A and B are shown apart, each in its own frame.
Chain A
Amino acid sequence: MAAESSDSEEEDLVSYGSALPALQEGERIKKPVPLQEQTVKDGKGRYQRFHGAFTGGFSAGYFNTVGTKEGWTPSSFISSRQKRADKTILGPEDFMDEEDLSEFGIAPKDITTTDDFASKAKDRIKEKARQIAGVVAAIPGTTAFDDLIGPSKITIGVELLRKMGWKEGQGIGPRIKRKPLRQKPDPQVKVYGCALPPGLSEGSEDEEDEYQPENVTFAPKDVMPVDLTPKEDVHGLGYKGLDPTQALFGISGREHLNLFTGGSEKTSDLLGDLRHSKGRKLGITGQAFGVGALEEEDDDIYATETLSKYDTVLKDEEPGDGLYGWTAPKQYKSKKRFETEVKYIGKILDGFSLASKSSTYPPPDLPRDYRPVHYFRPVIAAGNENYHLRKALEQSTGKLENDTTQQSRHTLNASQRRDRLGETVLKGPAPSVLEYLSEKDRERLKEVKQASEQQMKVKMLPQQSQNRFQPTSANDAPHKWQMFLGGQLANAGSSDFKPFARNPEKQKRYESFVQSLKQGQKDMLEHYLDPSMTEWERGREQEEFFRAAMFYKSSNSTLSSRFTRAKYEDDVDKVEVPRDQENDIDDKESAVKMKMFGKLTRDKFEWHPEKLLCKRFNVPDPYPDSSIVGLPKVKRDKYSVFNFLTLPEATTSVTQATNERIQQNNNLNSKLKPSRWDVSDKEKEKKDSISEFISLARSKVDIQQQPPVPMTEECGTETNETLPSEVGTWLCLNLKGNGTFFFLQKKKQKKHKNKGKHKNKKSEKESSSDTEDSSDSLSDMDTTENLLKRSQILQWITRT
């Protein structure tokens, strides 16, 4: 069974190429054969050797020895005694190798389509050549029989054309009416240069008579390729030797030939011609070109003198782009005549007539209140009250038929179409289990559900009341927001806006949150929040989500095009803020009212022009050393309070003292990861009372480690590592969050400081859990143990 299946598997598989030999155990992979040792063999296993491109690539067998070691040997030796009679006639193929007869050899014998099977796109050139040959031949017209006898092979294209009314020899296109052409060229005009074979080049034109009935149309002229007479002599291109007959009498040789067929009257003609030709100059056609060895100008030996080279009329330059000289295409030269001559005689649509003359119309006068913006007509829903209006609109647009079904076919959905077509509902899986339940059961279920929900609420309430940091009750928030957002929610949470892109999990929560919000499932909102978070944090996040949903609602609307890109990237904590701002407009407003222009209304800033701009203005760079462009900017925290508040500068001796100490301690703490507050200390030191507080707190921590503390060694090191960075992270966090939290934390810190050991354990735990929840990063840091330690330290500080 198994063997069979494997067999069938093998049969199913298709393998290309030869498989590599299986490696035996311990066998090494063979080295590749070097290039010089690689050999080429032909189909019969004979070595081939490459010996140069000119000799045809690979040599025949044994290096130019006709494929055998001994060189050429007769294919078979046959005793001449018996078979002397039948001589084998050797052709060249007998002395050739197979390679020579192959596709790339010197005598390839590949399969080609013979003339019989070739598609019979009529070879015009060949045709022409044959035609000429027929004319030139001793018995003219003999080749015409070939056409009669030859089998008719017509391509599908020609066949189609014929069925459409095309006849051979005609051009393709609408039939045209042609006015009598210009007169034939004057026969008296002397012809220089090569004379074309008579009756060929101008034949079709010559055939046209003066007689032109009014309503006779012609097929357009077929486009003929250039005549190519086969070259049979060894003269130069275009050379035509002096024709003695023409040179003598100026009559064509053909007429001469016709003498014999013509009869006696022709002889008199001939004589007459002779006589006649005496009256005019004897023309010499044909030429012997080339210049003598002594002549200098041989640069244009193919020049032919034709009259067309000369201008007969003084005229302006050819209109147009001057691309063509006198060789301009016909339509280019005589455009006007062409236009009047050719008219379209095709089928003209009913109700239309061919324009007698082309006329351009001036653009319409624009009405006075014209605005070049299109306003769409209001779409009026099909309703009873709108019926008259709709009717009027339709009439005005010329759509009188009231065919709503036709119009709205594409707007129907599947079920509507199904209804209209009278089809039955497809049977599929029922939408929910509830459908199978009876009405009574459903009612009961609902009751149970409501009861349980209420129970839950009752349970939750005391919890919430316990939580002191609950910002708003989480339950009524959705309703509040729902009211706020109203219908705007429809656009919220569209895919292109990702307010929480940095935290994918949060973003995910947000999206599902918005989804549920859209569907109006208010009580479901809680489910999308992280269950591992505390009530407080959940409430916060929910509010955040609501805010985000409200702010980003217009993302996909056209409104977004009205806004420029944000000046600052979202995920950069620090932003560049102009150092000086034009502010207090109120003062200026009042100054303007009092017409006290001058100092009150003027702001003066340092402004750095671009160096290149100075150069272009021929002005020396006012700040040659600065690299700033525009107004000088200062890096500040993006969400820092200091961007919005202007706090009085706090220059107390305490801060200075503590700062000095910090400077010292920074050296000690250099192994710690510096918090942002450490970095920006210098910057901040002048303005913020908060930083004062922080530095105080930190210094207290640091003091702790300086003197020999009455504490265990273990405890000391631990605080040393955790506490300073803790303070930093706390505040960082706050900055990322909103301001309220910031101050909250600050207060708590103060509490720590003031209360010291009097703090009860409960509040400590509470606060610790709060901080833990406020951020993921903090969760493992801020343990109650640490807090205990800290309170110990603080206690110690207050004591000393």
Chain B
Amino acid sequence: PSRPIPAPHNPHPPQTPQVDGNYCLTCGSDKSLKLWNPHKGTLLRTYHGHGYEVLDAAGSFDNSQLCSCSADKTVALWDVATGQVVRKFRGHAGKVSCVQFNEEATVIVSGSIDSTVRCWDCRSRRPDPVQVLDEAKDGVSSVKVSDHEILSGSVDGRVRRYDLRAGQLYSDYVGSPITSVCFSKDGQCVLAASLDSTLRLLDKDTGELLGEYTGHRSTTYKLDCVLSEQDTHVGSASEDGKVYFWDLVEVSRASSQILVPLPHPTPPPQPTPTSPQIHVPPLARHTPRSDSRLRHHTGSSSAKSF
């Protein structure tokens, strides 16, 4: 059962729901974030306060706080209930393209087009980041945080994993600009989507390639990729307006078996040609109104990932 969200705010791809799957958070180019009830399709709250389009958002583990990042170079920490901005972190030199809480929502990790990942402290009133990870040579397009790791994918074609516990930085070269990275739920693998229309499943410890998933199209835009709750499926958005799912294991044997492409109800977004020197492609920019509807897929195991 899919229910389109009557979203008049031109959202970017829907954000990960807050942990328990009861909420859905979208962020849009109308400078606002919207919190939805995915089951009823009702709008719960709108968060205003960004000066430019909101590029990414995430929720804390206890659903009490949100963090978002925007093209206005700021990272904001929100209070869910009051709808007020609790903190605003300034320091990035460019659009902030991705943002994540750590496990306890004490640190916000944000990646920006300025090729840095910045870790912001939510506990203290410190205005500057706790640490700046400036190893990337190009814009950081995706950031994920586990209990002791920070995973970042950059347009320079590398997936960097900062292991806080071991004090090591592992840099895996993929070659093509990375659009999205994510951990597997068992914490053994890293999934990286890149602009050569390929998802790669890499072994976290050795960096070896475990699987390649192709068939979708991703050449221009920053599209997300996910692993399902039980690590059984790999999902990715595609520029043809569909959502692709692969069986995680099947693919590792036979090459690229698309399990099911889910069509979007609206015509695919026509990517406006961008100039070639832009390294970080814009987040999939759904053109206003015509295809501003999002599909929220419920019922399947992979639903929670979207």
Contact = CB atoms under 8 A, between A and B. Distances in A.
Interface of A: 365-366, 368-370, 564, 582, 585, 588-589, 591-592, 595, 597-599, 601-610, 612-614, 616-620, 622-623, 629-631
A401 to B, nearest CB: 38
A616 B106 contact: yes
Given A608-B167, A616-B104, 9 more contacts: A598-B203, A602-B172, A602-B206, A604-B168, A609-B167, A616-B121, A619-B164, A622-B165, A629-B131
B130 A610 contact: yes
A623 B164 CA distance: 10
B130 A616 contact: yes
A616 B206 contact: no
A564 B131 contact: no
Given A366-B288, A606-B167, A622-B164, A598 B174 contact: no
B119 A605 contact: no
A618 B170 CA distance: 21
B171 A619 contact: no
Contacts of A612: 121, 130-131
Interface string B268-290: 00000000000000000001111
Interface of B: 93, 102-104, 106-107, 114, 119, 121, 123, 130-135, 137, 147-148, 158, 162-175, 200, 202-203, 206-209, 212, 287-290
B158 A592 contact: no
A616 B170 contact: no
B135 to A, nearest CB: 7
B170 A609 contact: no
Contact of B167 (A564, A598, A599, A622): A622
A623 B131 CA distance: 15
A115 B106 CA distance: 74
Interface secondary structure of B, over-half rule: loop
Given A564-B114, A622-B167, A601 B172 contact: yes
A353 B194 CA distance: 61
Nearest to B123: A616
Contacts of A629: 131
Contacts of A598: 203, 206-209
Given A602-B206, A620-B165, A610 B119 contact: yes
B168 A607 contact: yes
A591 B209 CA distance: 11
Nearest to A602: B207
A606 B164 CA distance: 11
A365 B207 contact: no
B167 A585 contact: no
Contact of B164 (A564, A605, A609): A609
B167 A597 contact: no
B94 to A, nearest CB: 9
A474 B167 CA distance: 56
Q: Interface centre among A597, A605, A619, by most B CB within 10 Å?
A: A597
A631 B135 contact: yes
Nearest to B134: A630
A420 to B, nearest CB: 45
A370 B29 CA distance: 12
A177 to B, nearest CB: 41
A614 B200 CA distance: 29
Contacts of B170: 602-604
Nearest to B174: A592
Contacts of B200: 597
B107 A610 contact: no
B164 A613 contact: yes
Contacts of A597: 172, 200, 202, 207-209
28 contacts: A365-B289, A368-B287, A368-B288, A368-B289, A368-B290, A564-B114, A582-B137, A582-B173, A585-B173, A592-B174, A592-B175, A595-B212, A597-B208, A598-B208, A598-B209, A602-B171, A603-B173, A610-B131, A616-B106, A616-B121, A617-B102, A617-B107, A620-B165, A622-B164, A629-B131, A630-B132, A631-B135, A631-B169
Contacts of A609: 131, 162, 164, 167
B104 A618 contact: yes
Q: Interface centre among B103, B130, B132, B287, by most A CB within 10 Å?
A: B130
Contacts of B203: 598
Contacts of A370: 288
Contacts of B103: 617
Contacts of B135: 582, 630-631
Contacts of A605: 168-169, 171
A630 B164 CA distance: 11
A503 to B, nearest CB: 31
A619 B167 CA distance: 10
A256 to B, nearest CB: 66
B207 A614 contact: no
A617 B164 contact: yes
A589 B166 contact: no
Contacts of B121: 612, 616
Contact of B175 (A368, A589, A602, A616): A589
A365 B288 CA distance: 10
A629 to B, nearest CB: 6
Contacts of A620: 165
Contacts of B130: 610, 612-613, 616
A291 B202 CA distance: 89
Contacts of B147: 617-619
Nearest to A365: B289
B134 to A, nearest CB: 8
Contacts of B290: 368
B274 to A, nearest CB: 12
A604 B169 contact: yes
B166 A622 contact: yes
Contacts of A588: 173, 175
Given A366-B289, A602-B207, A613-B164, A630 B104 contact: no
Nearest to B290: A368
A623 B167 CA distance: 7
Contacts of A602: 170-173, 206-207
A229 B73 CA distance: 65
A370 B290 CA distance: 12
A376 to B, nearest CB: 19
Contacts of B165: 619-620, 622
Given A370-B288, A592-B174, A602-B172, A614 B202 contact: no
A368 B162 CA distance: 42
Nearest to B202: A597
B182 to A, nearest CB: 17
B282 to A, nearest CB: 12
B166 to A, nearest CB: 6
B165 to A, nearest CB: 5
Contacts of B123: 616
Given A597-B202, A609-B164, A616 B102 contact: yes
B93 A564 contact: yes
A662 to B, nearest CB: 37
Nearest to B162: A607
A598 B130 CA distance: 31
B266 to A, nearest CB: 12
B146 to A, nearest CB: 9
B173 A601 contact: yes
Contacts of A618: 104, 147
A626 to B, nearest CB: 9
Q: Interface centre among A564, A605, A613, A620, by most B CB within 10 Å?
A: A613
B100 to A, nearest CB: 12
A606 B171 CA distance: 11
Contacts of A622: 164-168
Contacts of B289: 365-366, 368
Contacts of A631: 135, 169
Nearest to B146: A617
Contacts of B287: 368-369
A614 B164 contact: yes
A631 to B, nearest CB: 7
Please list the 7 inter-chain residue pairs (A to B) with the smallest Cβ-Cβ separation, ordered nearest first: A622-B167, A607-B169, A597-B209, A602-B207, A610-B131, A598-B208, A588-B173
